[in-house]
Amino acid sequence: MDRIRDRFRSYLSDQGLKSTQQREIILDEFLKAGAHLSTEELYLKIRKKHPHIGYATVYRTLKLFSECGIAEEHNFGDGQTRYETVAGESHHHDHLICTECKRIIEFEDPRIEQMQDEVAARHGFKILNHRLELYGLCDDCRKKHSS
């Protein structure tokens, strides 16, 4: 966690940007929240304790997180951009998304990753990024349906 904070501060000073109270607060709340938050959800969370922080600041700070590599943007098809922490050491992962209860489960599978590389190689493609999302019903929702 502190590693991430350090990384963010370094990024700021490297770029000639400034470390401000707002940015610290937003980073704290973002890390605390953990999950896959939309800009608005994070803004609402923050507003409770810090009503003076505006939406635009949250929005711009999340962009900053994504630029400096401590967060990743996602689009799960609900019309909102969501952000997720990228822990420095953790592996890339993909998502199972329950279309019913909106739960998001993370998983990683190196074999799938490797096959992606193979596909790319076959097409002379250089992968910079990828996303794999499986939409469906989670265990709980499946059970609810069948009962």
Query: Residues comprising the binding site?
Result: 92, 94, 98, 101, 113, 130, 138, 141
> Which of 121, 123, 91, 88 has its CA nearest to residue 106?
91
Compute the least distance from the CB of residue 146 to DNA, in Å.
30
Residues 6+ apart with CB under 8 A from 63: none
120 binds its own copies (CB under 8 A): yes
Closer residue to its own copies (CB): 129 or 147: 129
Please name the residues in contact with 81: beta carbons below 8 A apart, sequence gap of 6 or more: 38, 39, 73, 74, 75
Looking at the Cβ atoms of 5 and 63, the one nearer to DNA is 63
Rounded Cα–Cα distance for residues 86 and 84 (Å): 6
From DNA, its own copies, none, which one binds at residue 120 (CB under 5 to 8 Å depending on kind)?
its own copies
Instruction: State yes or no: residue 25 binds its own copies (CB under 8 A).
Output: no
